Amino acid sequence: MPLTVSNNSAVASASYYLDKNQKALQHSIKKLASGKRIISPNEDPGTLSVVMKLNASVQRLKGAKNNVQNGISFVEVQDGMLQTIGRIVTRMAELKGMATQDPMKSTQDIESYNNEFVDLQKQLRDINKSTLNGVSLFADYAGTKQALDAGNVKTKFKGSDTADNIIEIYTSSEGSSGTKISLYRSGLLSALTIAGGTSIANAQEWVQGVGTNGNSTTTFGLFAGEDGSTISLGTTGLSMGIFEQAVSNIAYLRAQAGGGMTRLNFSADALSSMETNMRAAIGRIEDVDIAEESANLAKFSILTQAAAAMVAQANTTNDVALMLLR
């Protein structure tokens, strides 16, 4: 083989492999540092596209989980308020019993009980206006005193399908086109409106204060009117059965809220499971094999060092040529 200087093919070949091995070494370092199998789109465009779509789906699932958690918070706060309302109505019944069924109570005692009774009615009105982050916990209601048969009452005790009563919680990554759970904003004032001597079905429409329906049945609203009007412990027809029915209505509303909470909890579990499985799928697709890539790192590190040594060795050819010229 002739000794040449102007075209040292050994140096060129060694330099080529040195550059190639250095690039492979750097690429291996990037994979290990990032933990990703795919560093740039040109490596595997199809797989990268799948990973991007899966990541987008995960983010949408996180949004749906937030919706569900907010729905659970709404129902929990609403149920807490209903529990308080149940205690208030029970206390009102207790006041009724002490004021009207105990012959030892003086007029002043009865007046004291009645003052508390009135204050509790005002408290119930205030509770009905409660909100969570600006969203009403209870359904809208008619603003003026109306008879039950007037036909223009806005809420129903058992949650009619109206815009005032329904809150929709979207529970999938598809948003409004996917699955959803409808929560009822309880018709609290309707539940606290009892038609004396009638069945629960006749007491489902709200009326402020005391009025009469088409059958001249007295109807009691156990809450203060918007104008501050209230009923007293001595109101004619205000029996213990009225309070018992009100407590029963509140229990129904709590059960209704509990059903919604159960559905939301199951949805939260399902969304968490879907997110976990989807993240696992993303990991299987894009995560680097640490053991394999560590072996590649060692391999290209050795090859890079070897190629660098060969470049140095090939460059010694020029020194040999100079020795011959001396």
pLDDT at residue 220, as a whole number: 76
Phi, psi torsion values for 138, nearest 5 degrees: -125, 155
Residue 142 has pLDDT above 50, yes or no: no
State if pTM tops 0.85. no
Phi, psi torsion values for 196, nearest 5 degrees: -60, 130
pLDDT over 70 percentage in the chain: 79
> Do 219 and 211 meet the contact criterion of CB atoms below 8 Å apart?
yes
pLDDT, mean over the chain: 78
pLDDT at residue 217, as a whole number: 52
CA distances 244 to 88, 206, 213, Å, are 12, 18, 21
- Residue 122, classified by CB atoms within 10 Å of its CB into exposed (0-12), middle (13-18) or buried (19+), is middle
Residue 296 has pLDDT above 80, yes or no: yes
Half-sphere exposure of 290 (CA within 13 A, CB side): 4
